[in-house]
Structure 1
């Protein structure tokens, strides 16, 4: 099931099945309660696939908020991170993410993506992709 959901995230078209399978093996189910802060504006520590519930994405210097619901994702820039940087430079979360209600999510930690990147470094270094932003969001 995580692999099927991962295949629905807007990814570079040349991301191969081997990488997607490796990523799906690291996805961990987590539950959060209303108003939990999942991600803060700082180096990005995780990527979340929202299975149930809704999260609010807030920028401290921007007055409006965005919502992501079940079937959406935040932190997808971790998927392209091994291709556009050298470790240990981490991508930055430009927003904070908090729960609007109870949330169930699949979580990929940055340390797991780093391990995947090292294992499959040859693949990532040959990719010609641009950095992903967190604004697409659907999986």
Structure 2
């Protein structure tokens, strides 16, 4: 089975999204030695998850619809309610309200300040 090993975020204004995701999730960004590309470290290698990259958007941003135009990443958070408040305070727009994924956890989807859709999941096997 193939596993996801990397993700990329396209940004109209890279620094704005670097600030947004650093603030929201505590991710760290480091400029790649060549070109306009930033590596994203999402956490310690001892925890499950993947790292990614951020680059300038190669075309127009997604339209006003809440449908994705690329892969959607879902990020594990300790407290979905607190993360939702933090995301909206950082300029994100709620697309799909908090919902239970029975036996898994709580999930909500947002658009970041550049129109990219992402999910946040709080693991909770008692969610129903």
TM-score (norm 2): 0.28
Select the structure that is richer in helix. 1
Q: TM-score, normalised by structure 1?
A: 0.27
Higher strand fraction (1 or 2): 2
Higher relative contact order by CA 8 Å / sep ≥ 6: 1 or 2?
A: 1
